[in-house]
């Protein structure tokens, strides 16, 4: 029966309902996949962050260990120098000196004792004392006495100049001792500690004569715990005594606490499990009279005994019983840095760092999906569904047939959506790049001087115009000792952000090295070159002209590291290209030496220092500006001040380029000698307006492919 067959056929959903159902399924599936992917990515990121935290801690402990090694080496190595000095000074002259000092003074007999006080002067005070007579001793006694007195100033100076060292003393086989500093008020060396110090230095206990570290002892409330390091003194095969220095553990605690670990704790432990430094001791280290206990410093389930610590691999972070532990032995002392932190603490830090971002991402994603659903349904899916339903209804009405399949989205719409997606992504990329370039330009702007010296004896001005948003050129000036002024013009290889960052590093290094102490310009160039070569994985370099100008004499001492020779504009209109010395650019190869040059400026003379962006600027015909045009610009035409010289040069280069796209940065620095003699009573600094610090490039500049910047 036709009627029965028609009734048994399942009804088809209208096209608009099928489109809506497919849209909901697609959107729900996409949302689920995105959320799932986000969760997986977050878990992966958390694990990576945890490993990153451990790696950072491992690197910090290694840096901490290197610094502690340096500190201990600086404190303990003088012990070997002292015992060598005592043996070296044990000469025939020292024997005569010891006998003379015993008989004529300043050594004085006081009953059964004798003593001599060494004045402090610029160093720490000291005292030599002993038992027995002075005048009826063996010849070896006077030789040892003279040798110890000869090195007494060295012991006093070491205590005064080494912050970690609290005491230095010499114990002689003849029963006398020298100690620095010496003060009759504080408690003396504990008998037990001194006995152990003497016992461990005997030939029977130390046949190889090595440096050794006795147990720490309490040196009084003013010194706190002290860790002695000692060495036996020999003259050939003859045992003379023991020399020792006491290292302040309160200083060690301060250094250890100052390393600034955000998570976990780090302690210093000796070979017997004694805790010498710990953050818990840093608040008031003078209270402790004995070193900390091992079982109180570390979780017992992680490090139950010192043997368990010794079994850990050196210099490697390991996970043990829910903790991260790292042992870093010191090369200069029988001590170890021990770092501990619970994994719970690390996970908490990682979650606090990433958790808010993940939560915000989930909330933002949910809001975005809801907004997307509402917008697309209202503006696209809904109208499309109604359009399809209407089209199918019209078709069904015309043909009397029901549609068998939903109508897809018209193909003409697809290119529009693809184009919008592509344009949106490119816009985001360009916006991100623009922000990065703006940040880099502001960073570079901040490294250039914002003030110029206002001294009636000389006039100084400079400017830098980058070829791109960020340039590789820079200039600088800074005060030097004896009223001199340091001048720098530099050109980094390459262009853009990498060159700008390398320029920031080289400028900071040069200023720091040049101003930390008085030294020749060539020495400054050598030290900056070595520092740049140390971590120069990108193989970048920088040509540099560094000068030290003395305004009182008008003399400029300079070092040239691969930079174009500057031009001297004499007051009468003649020109001089500043001759060598030349040199290799900084950062190319370590260990290079640089020569110095000298030029004297008279009143009215101007020194013009520039980068190769000036002479290598090209015009529309491909011709370079060159040194000939530069010379013609100033020959017979003196300038009134430094700024006029630079303005004249930049305007001429701009007219020569005539709108040609610049290739290289342009940097100029002009120094004009106004008069010689002593400075004015009130020197001042004149601020620089921002447009003169870094000007957005409007003039062309070009450089050879092999030249820097």
Residue pLDDT, tens place only, 534-577: 878 888 899 999 999 999 999 999 999 999 999 999 999 899 99
Residue 574: per-residue pLDDT: 92
Residue 415: per-residue pLDDT: 64
Mean pLDDT of 37-65: 84
Residue 10 has pLDDT above 80, yes or no: no
Does the predicted TM-score (pTM) go above 0.85?
no
| Residue 356 is assigned to a structural domain of this protein | no
pLDDT tens digit sequence for 298-316: 888 888 999 988 888 988 8
The answer, yes or no, to whether the previous bond of 181 is cis (omega within 30 of 0) is yes
Count the domains in the chain: 3
Rounded to 5°, angle at Cα 110 from 106 and 111: 150
Residue 549: CATH number of its domain: 3.60.40.10
Distance CA 281, CA 334 (A): 20
- Domain identity same for 223 and 276: no
- Domain identity same for 524 and 626: yes
Residue 74 has pLDDT above 90, yes or no: no
- Domain identity same for 636 and 683: yes
- Domain identity same for 237 and 307: no
Q: SS3 of 62, please?
A: helix
Residue 152 has pLDDT above 50, yes or no: yes
Residue 567: per-residue pLDDT: 94
Residue 213: CATH number of its domain: 3.30.450
Element (H, E) at 557: strand 555-561
- Domain identity same for 242 and 303: no
- Domain identity same for 245 and 257: no
Give the closest residue to 237 by CA, choosing from 82, 87, 79. Answer: 87
Identify the DSSP state of 483.
Answer: G
Residue 245 has pLDDT above 70, yes or no: yes
494 neighbors 706 (Cβ within 8 angstroms):
no
Residue 681: per-residue pLDDT: 59
642 neighbors 459 (Cβ within 8 angstroms):
yes
- The tokens for 22 are 């497919």
57 neighbors 257 (Cβ within 8 angstroms):
no
Residue 361 has pLDDT above 50, yes or no: yes
Residue 294 gets the label, from left (phi > 0), alpha (psi -120 to 50) or beta, of alpha
pLDDT higher at 406 or 463:
463
Among 201, 224, 249, the domain boundary falls at 249
Mean pLDDT of 327-355: 87
Q: Distance from CA of residue 53 to its chain's centroid?
A: 19
How would residue 357 be classed by pLDDT, with cut points 50, 70 and 90? confident
| Residue 56 is assigned to a structural domain of this protein | no
Strands of 56-102, DSSP E: none
200 neighbors 192 (Cβ within 8 angstroms):
no
Percent helix / strand / coil, the chain, rounded to 5 = 45, 20, 35
Mean pLDDT of 588-613: 93
| Residue 544 is assigned to a structural domain of this protein | yes
- Domain identity same for 162 and 292: no
Among 217, 249, 281, the domain boundary falls at 249
Mean pLDDT of 607-618: 91
| Residue 442 is assigned to a structural domain of this protein | no
- The tokens for 54 are 């451990």
The DSSP annotation for 370-402 comes to HHHHHHHIIIIIHHHHHHHHHHHHHHHHHHS--
Could you tell me what percent of the chain has a pLDDT over 70?
Answer: 80
197 neighbors 230 (Cβ within 8 angstroms):
yes
What mean pLDDT is reported for the chain?
A: 81
pLDDT higher at 187 or 314:
314
503 neighbors 709 (Cβ within 8 angstroms):
no
- Domain identity same for 111 and 200: yes
Instruction: Report the range of poorest mean pLDDT among 377-391, 468-482, 595-609, 635-649.
Output: 377-391
Residue 650 has pLDDT above 90, yes or no: yes
- Please count the residues of the chain: 709
Residue 605, Cβ neighbours under 10 Å: how many?
21
pLDDT higher at 597 or 693:
597
| Residue 394 is assigned to a structural domain of this protein | no
Residue 231: per-residue pLDDT: 93
pLDDT tens digit sequence for 429-486: 777 666 766 666 666 666 788 889 988 999 999 998 887 767 778 999 999 999 999 9
How would residue 257 be classed by pLDDT, with cut points 50, 70 and 90? confident
158 neighbors 168 (Cβ within 8 angstroms):
yes
- Domain identity same for 197 and 274: no
- The tokens for 208 are 């190889």
Residue 668: per-residue pLDDT: 95
- For residue 647, what are the domain limits? 466-693
Residue 282: per-residue pLDDT: 56
Residue 672: per-residue pLDDT: 96
pLDDT higher at 448 or 631:
631
| Residue 553 is assigned to a structural domain of this protein | yes
Distance CA 466, CA 440 (A): 12
| Max CA separation in the chain (angstroms) | 147
Mean pLDDT of 378-382: 61
Residue 370 has pLDDT above 60, yes or no: yes
| Residue 640 is assigned to a structural domain of this protein | yes
629-644: burial string, b at 16+ Cβ within 10 Å, e else: bbeebbeeebbeebbb
pLDDT higher at 515 or 402:
515
| Residue 2 is assigned to a structural domain of this protein | no
Among 195, 219, 249, the domain boundary falls at 249
Instruction: Report the range of poorest mean pLDDT among 175-179, 194-198, 229-233, 430-434.
Output: 430-434
- Domain identity same for 317 and 196: no
- Domain identity same for 266 and 301: yes
Q: SS3 of 67, please?
A: helix
Residue 105 has pLDDT above 90, yes or no: no
Could you tell me what percent of the chain has a pLDDT over 90?
Answer: 27
- Domain identity same for 245 and 171: yes
pLDDT higher at 661 or 184:
661
Residue 27: per-residue pLDDT: 75
Residue 170 has pLDDT above 70, yes or no: yes
């Amino acid at each position: 029966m036709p009627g029965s067959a028609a009734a048994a056929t399942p009804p088809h959903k209208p096209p608009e309902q099928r489109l809506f159902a497919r849209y909901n399924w697609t959107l729900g599936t996409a949302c689920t996949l995105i959320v799932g992917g986000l969760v997986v990515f977050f878990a992966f990121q958390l694990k990576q962050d945890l490993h990153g935290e451990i790696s950072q801690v491992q690197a910090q402990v290694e840096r901490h260990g290197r610094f502690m090694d340096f500190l201990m080496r600086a404190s303990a190595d003088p012990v070997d120098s002292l015992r060598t000095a005592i043996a070296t000074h044990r000469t025939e002259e020292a024997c005569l000196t010891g006998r003379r000092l015993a008989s004529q003074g300043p050594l004085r007999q006081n009953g059964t004792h004798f003593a001599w006080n060494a004045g402090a002067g610029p160093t720490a005070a000291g005292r030599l004392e002993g038992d027995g007579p002075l005048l009826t001793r063996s010849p070896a006694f006077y030789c040892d006495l003279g040798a110890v007195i000869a090195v007494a100033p060295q012991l006093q100076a070491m205590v005064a100049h080494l912050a970690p060292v609290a005491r230095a003393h010499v114990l002689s086989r003849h029963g006398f001792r020298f100690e620095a500093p010496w003060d009759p008020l504080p408690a003396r060396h504990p008998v037990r500690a001194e006995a152990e110090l003497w016992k461990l230095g005997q030939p029977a206990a130390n046949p190889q004569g090595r440096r050794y570290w006795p147990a720490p002892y309490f040196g009084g409330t003013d010194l706190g715990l002290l860790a002695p390091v000692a060495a036996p003194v020999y003259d050939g095969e003859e045992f003379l005594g023991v020399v020792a220095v006491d290292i302040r553990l309160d200083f060690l605690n301060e250094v250890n606490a100052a390393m600034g670990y955000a998570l976990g704790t780090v302690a210093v432990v000796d070979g017997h499990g004694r805790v010498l430094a710990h953050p818990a001791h840093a608040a008031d280290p003078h209270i402790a009279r004995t070193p900390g206990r091992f079982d109180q410093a570390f979780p017992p389930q992680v490090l139950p005994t010192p043997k368990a610590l010794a079994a850990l691999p050196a210099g490697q972070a390991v996970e043990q019983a829910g903790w991260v532990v790292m042992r870093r032995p010191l090369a200069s002392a029988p001590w170890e840095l021990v770092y501990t932190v619970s994994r719970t603490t690390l996970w908490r830090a990682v979650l606090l760092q990433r958790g808010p971002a993940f939560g915000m991402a989930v909330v933002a994603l949910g809001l975005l999906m809801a907004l997307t659903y509402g917008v697309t349904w209202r503006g696209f899916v809904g109208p499309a569904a109604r359009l399809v339903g209407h089209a199918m209804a019209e078709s069904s009405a015309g043909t009397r047939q029901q549609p068998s399949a939903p109508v897809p989205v018209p193909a003409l719409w697809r290119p529009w959506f693809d184009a919008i997606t592509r344009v949106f992504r490119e816009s985001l990329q360009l916006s991100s790049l623009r922000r990065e370039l703006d940040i880099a330009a502001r960073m570079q702007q901040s490294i250039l001087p914002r003030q110029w010296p206002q001294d009636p004896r000389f006039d100084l001005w400079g400017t830098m115009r980058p070829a791109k948003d960020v340039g590789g050129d820079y200039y600088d000036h800074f005060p030097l000792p004896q009223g001199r002024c340091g001048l720098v013009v530099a050109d980094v290889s390459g262009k853009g952000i990498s060159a700008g960052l390398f320029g920031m590093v080289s400028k900071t290094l040069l200023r720091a090295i040049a101003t930390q102490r008085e030294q020749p310009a060539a020495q400054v160039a050598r030290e900056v070159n070595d520092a740049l070569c140390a971590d120069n994985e990108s193989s970048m370099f920088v040509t540099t002209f560094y000068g030290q100008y003395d305004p009182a004499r008008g003399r400029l001492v300079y070092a040239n590291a691969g930079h174009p020779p500057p031009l001297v504009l004499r007051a009468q209109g003649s020109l001089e290209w500043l001759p060598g010395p030349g040199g290799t650019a900084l950062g190319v190869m370590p260990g290079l030496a640089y020569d110095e040059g000298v030029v004297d400026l008279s009143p009215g003379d101007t020194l013009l220092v520039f980068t190769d962006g000036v002479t290598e600027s090209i015009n529309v015909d491909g011709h370079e500006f060159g040194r000939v045009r530069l010379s013609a610009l100033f020959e017979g035409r003196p300038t009134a001040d430094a700024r006029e010289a630079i303005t004249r040069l930049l305007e001429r280069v701009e007219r020569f380029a005539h709108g040609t796209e610049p290739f290289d940065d342009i940097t100029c620095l002009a120094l004009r000698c106004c008069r010689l003699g002593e400075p004015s009573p009130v020197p001042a600094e004149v601020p620089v307006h921002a447009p003169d610090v870094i000007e957005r490039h409007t003039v062309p500049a070009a450089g050879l492919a092999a030249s820097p910047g």
